Structure 1
Amino acid sequence: MLKKRMLAVAVASTLAAPFAMADVNIYGTINASVESVKATGATNPANDLKSTGRISSNVSRIGFKGSDDLGNGLKGLWQIEQEVSIDDGGTRKGSFATRNSFVGLEGGFGKVLLGHHDTVYKGLSSAGLVNPVPETIADIGGGANSVFGRGDARLPNSMLYLSQNYSGLQGGVSYSLDETRATLGTTRTNKGIWSLAANYNANGILAGMGYEVRKQANAVAGNTGLDQTFMKLTAAYKFDDTKLGVGYEQEKSERASGNTTQKAWTLGAQQRLGSVVLGVAYAKLGETKDGAKDGAKQWTLGAVYELSKRTQTYAFYTSLKNDANSARTFGSPSFIGVGAGSKPTGLGVGLKTVF
């Protein structure tokens, strides 16, 4: 009996040793809101989405990260992060490590990361963006279908370099390899994506800039050299309890039918009143050319009440108006299948906690 107990203790100690020695942090965000949403006024009334009540999990997530001291000022880094959907039991999130997940090195040179990660265009260039209620449908920006931040993306097969922070200034470069290399006609494509970006945060000034090249993004058989580029500038100034910001973004697309350019801009303001932060933001997406009617506008009003350093409650109203040939929608969680010309609106209250 004694031998069996000693064997059990030895096995348990062996299994526990790696965990006791590892530097692992568990972190996350739980963010849920009760919402009333609709998207009516579509050019084709059959595409209207009637008023719907729902609970949204927003960008709730859990992550695991750690580091390993390699000596001489060098560290090994790793992170695994996954979005979770607390509103539906996880049925919409069927895979793992869908958010920023990587392995890398950090030293006097900065950081080098390999994995599935936000481009530096997304991660650095939005420093000056005023966003009253981020990571909800009231978010100003959030990807290809939004009004602003349409170049923001998280990409697989990514390599990133991030510099150290020099008196508030940081820069970076990222590249996403095209693992598929599909063939169009007789030509094998290579749709790699390059991003360059930098931001500054000091003395009440927040600013960001980014440039991204999506090689052969609009490739077609017989003409694979059709790229897409994005450029973004943001700037904000914070004084006392007030923050004012502005942003500009430009997309250029080379197409077989003719090149197009589409510009967007945003203005925002936030005011802190003790534990309450009030915010307003406006974003406008222009037409690709006169008469195209493919622009959109979005207004967001938000109020955040900080219950503690980790927990806050909030309320918001957001309204998006599409031109006749535009079908832009909210950032996250979005409507699926918004009709061209529709006017999505959303009203909600929520609770968010971080750990």
Structure 2
Amino acid sequence: MQKIFYSRPDRLALALLAASLFAPAVAQGQDGVTLYGRLDVNLTRARGQKWHMDRASHSRIGLRGSEDLGGGLRAQFQLESRISLKDGAVDAARPWGRQAWLGLRGPWGALRMGRSYSPSRHVASSYDAMDGGIGTPGTRALLLGHASATFVRFENGVYYETPRLAGLALSAAVSLHAAGGAKPRRRARSLRLHYRRGAADLSVAYGQPGEGGHVASAGLAWDFGFIKPMAQFHAGAREGRRRAAWQIGLALPSGAGEWRAAFSRLDDRGPAPQADRKLLALSYRHKLSRRTLLYATVAHDQARSQPGRKGIELGLRHSF
């Protein structure tokens, strides 16, 4: 019989996956460990390119769980890994690189530590009508191009969120310096005020990435039932140059599916604005079930540094 050898990160991932499958049967006092994920794959083509396999959103697999400690206090954790459906690869250097945190939640709010999304990132993702793929510039671009490791997700992060009161909640996060590592120019930090009540969903946020610069953000969505418009705006500085990004979009339910449209613009206000970009997209998503959908997107992408490109993607997404 041929032996199969796994690298250390692969063995760790397999061990944690196996533990999650058997946890409900052996854990004592544990409310449960859930295995969850999203699989997304499509065929994409842009002008001047051949059809190739891609994805609209990152495929991922994760574990999350909680334990009731009594007195309204709960222990919570989450581990999440990115997966490529093109070849089944995971990030060997960081198998749980999407999220890895442990924390407590109680009547006073929630506190967690580890690697997770910054409050500013939630503004860029929550009000993005296209939610990935060729129809959006992406979360990092909307946040003015700041590096993912220092702003979209915080390394060595400490996160706190208040209880929601009259629809309002405040979340804050700071990225601590790594012991023994090279210190960044500053500690990355982010603050978000979120209001959600009834049909209304509004956010304002401010963040300072670890590599310098700053981003002020605002987002708005209003669900009328028959249509849901949404918008977001980000302004700040990166590498000493002022930048701005905004997007307006809408979601329109239609039978067993939904139409989505968005227009995005990135504005580089420096003396040589090479990052300027405009993106117009239209998408249709057909629900095969509550967890599985087919989608098709067409987009026109116009960047200052290259000719305008038209693209199309046809894909399948499944969540579990």
TM-score by length of 1: 0.75
| Secondary structure in structure 2 of the residue aligned to 1:122 | helix
Partners of 1:182 and 1:93 lie apart in 2 by 21
Pick which of 342-351 and 27-36 moved more.
342-351
Match of 1:305 in 2: 286
Contact 1:130 1:269 (8 Å CA) reproduced: no
Among 159, 182, 186, the alignment partner of 1:191 is 186
Does residue 314 of structure 1 match 2:295?
A: yes
Contact 1:304 1:313 (8 Å CA) reproduced: yes
Partners of 2:180 and 2:215 lie apart in 1 by 22
- The code of the aligned residue for 2:52 comes to R
TM-score by length of 2: 0.82
User: Relative to structure 1, is the Cα distance of residues 91 and 54 closer, same or farther in structure 2, using a 3 angstrom cutoff?
Assistant: farther
User: Relative to structure 1, is the Cα distance of residues 52 and 170 closer, same or farther in structure 2, using a 3 angstrom cutoff?
Assistant: farther
Among 41, 53, 56, the alignment partner of 1:55 is 53
Higher relative contact order (CA 8 A, sep 6+): 1
Contact 1:148 1:265 (8 Å CA) reproduced: no
Does residue 105 of structure 1 match 2:117?
A: no
Partners of 1:315 and 1:166 lie apart in 2 by 39
Partners of 1:178 and 1:342 lie apart in 2 by 42
Partners of 1:125 and 1:17 lie apart in 2 by 36
Match of 1:64 in 2: 63
Contact 2:135 2:281 (8 Å CA) reproduced: yes
Alignment of 1:135-174 (within 5 A): 135-143=132-140, 146=141, 150=145, 153-174=152-173
Contact 1:174 1:194 (8 Å CA) reproduced: yes
Partners of 1:17 and 1:294 lie apart in 2 by 50
Q: 1:33, CA displacement in angstroms? A: 0.9
Alignment of 1:1-355 (within 5 A): 19-21=26-28, 22=30, 23-38=32-47, 50-57=48-55, 58-90=57-89, 95-124=94-123, 126-127=125-126, 129-132=127-130, 134-143=131-140, 146=141, 150=145, 153-179=152-178, 190-215=185-210, 217=211, 227-253=212-238, 259-289=240-270, 292-324=273-305, 341-355=306-320
Q: 1:136, CA displacement in angstroms? A: 2.5
Consecutive unaligned residues of structure 2, counting only runs of 5 or more, are: 1-21
Match of 2:13 in 1: none
Partners of 1:150 and 1:169 lie apart in 2 by 29
Q: 1:92, CA displacement in angstroms? A: 5.9
Partners of 1:180 and 1:350 lie apart in 2 by 43
Q: 1:153, CA displacement in angstroms? A: 0.7
User: Relative to structure 1, is the Cα distance of residues 204 and 149 closer, same or farther in structure 2, using a 3 angstrom cutoff?
Assistant: farther
Consecutive unaligned residues of structure 1, counting only runs of 5 or more, are: 1-14, 39-49, 218-226, 325-340
Deviations 1:308-328 (Å, cap 9, x if unpaired)? 11111111012321113xxxx
Contact 2:250 2:262 (8 Å CA) reproduced: yes
Contact 2:144 2:236 (8 Å CA) reproduced: no
Q: Which has the larger radius of gyration?
A: 1
Percent identity (aligned): 21
Contact 1:171 1:198 (8 Å CA) reproduced: yes
Report how many residues are paired. 292
User: Relative to structure 1, is the Cα distance of residues 139 and 18 closer, same or farther in structure 2, using a 3 angstrom cutoff?
Assistant: same
Contact 2:82 2:90 (8 Å CA) reproduced: no
Contact 1:140 1:281 (8 Å CA) reproduced: no
Partners of 2:33 and 2:262 lie apart in 1 by 38
Deviations 1:200-236 (Å, cap 9, x if unpaired)? 2222111111100135x2xxxxxxxxx3100111112
Contact 2:257 2:284 (8 Å CA) reproduced: yes
Contact 2:256 2:287 (8 Å CA) reproduced: yes
Q: 1:106, CA displacement in angstroms? A: 0.5
User: Relative to structure 1, is the Cα distance of residues 305 and 19 closer, same or farther in structure 2, using a 3 angstrom cutoff?
Assistant: same
- The code of the aligned residue for 1:214 comes to P
Partners of 2:119 and 2:180 lie apart in 1 by 23
Partners of 1:164 and 1:104 lie apart in 2 by 15
Partners of 1:241 and 1:109 lie apart in 2 by 37
User: Relative to structure 1, is the Cα distance of residues 197 and 300 closer, same or farther in structure 2, using a 3 angstrom cutoff?
Assistant: same
Deviations 1:23-63 (Å, cap 9, x if unpaired)? 2111111111111135xxxxxxxxxxx40322224411111
> Post-superposition, which runs of at least 4 consecutive aligned residues in structure 1 deviate over 6 A?
15-18, 180-183
Match of 1:5 in 2: none
| Secondary structure in structure 2 of the residue aligned to 1:98 | coil
- The code of the aligned residue for 2:235 comes to Q
Q: 1:345, CA displacement in angstroms? A: 4.0
| Secondary structure in structure 1 of the residue aligned to 2:139 | coil
Partners of 1:18 and 1:92 lie apart in 2 by 30
User: Relative to structure 1, is the Cα distance of residues 91 and 189 closer, same or farther in structure 2, using a 3 angstrom cutoff?
Assistant: closer
Partners of 1:204 and 1:213 lie apart in 2 by 30
